[in-house]
Amino acid sequence: MFMTADQFATSNKANLETIKGLSTKTFAGFEKMAELNLAAAKALMTESYEHAQSLLAAKDAQQVIALQTGLVAPMAEKAAAYGRHVYGIAVETSAEFTKVLEGKAVEGQKAFNQAMDSMTKNAPAGTESAVAVLKSALASSQSAIESAQSAAKQALAMAESNVSAVTEQALSAAAAVSKKA
């Protein structure tokens, strides 16, 4: 099974479009990260100056300690919110990649299956058992790939759940520390 020049050109055009789409998604992710980082830096700068002014206006050491301790919980919440934003951008961008790559994998598998069917239909007489073994191996490999993809998706979901739980525990601990002070 050979590709004609038209098929080759069509395939290359489709691949170029895929690369263009993925590059655009990647750039959009970088843009979102840059916007988030600029906003975080601006907020940090403003809050730092405000906190410094509050410290300079403090009348005694107890007031300074109270101001410093009161900073713990809000900073932890802001750090967690920043982390959630970064994670959201990463998940959104990787979801686009996953969607495209899964689509390409399905196309590739379909083309491979068509080539295998063509090859087995034109197999010489007396090779039926070899063809059956080949088809069985192909079916087993496809099943293994599907199982691995399913396991990877489950592991990702579990990791997401664990990250959320740890973040919530950290925020609760920070809030408890700031209440004690």
Check residue 11 and give its pLDDT: 81
Check residue 174 and give its pLDDT: 65
Range of the domain at 125: 9-180
CB 69 within 8 A of CB 178: yes
Domain assignment of residue 146, yes or no? yes
The average pLDDT across 148-152 equals 78
| Residue (of 119, 138, 142) closest to 127 by Cα position | 119
- pLDDT band of residue 26 (cuts 50, 70, 90) is very high
DSSP letters for 51-108: HHHHHHH--SHHHHHHHHHTTHHHHHHHHHHHHHHHHHHHHHHHHHHHHHHHHHHHHH
Domain assignment of residue 27, yes or no? yes
Domain assignment of residue 1, yes or no? no
Domain assignment of residue 63, yes or no? yes
- Number of domains composing the chain: 1
- pLDDT band of residue 177 (cuts 50, 70, 90) is low
Q: Is the pLDDT of residue 1 over 60?
A: no
pTM of the predicted model as reported, rounded to 2 decimal places: 0.63
pLDDT digits (tens, 9 = 90+) for 69-106: 888 778 888 888 898 899 889 888 888 888 888 888 78
DSSP three-state, residue 29: helix
The average pLDDT across 148-169 equals 77
Domain assignment of residue 75, yes or no? yes
Cα 135 to Cα 105, 121, 132, 140, 181, distances in angstroms? 19, 12, 5, 9, 70
Domain assignment of residue 2, yes or no? no
Domain assignment of residue 53, yes or no? yes
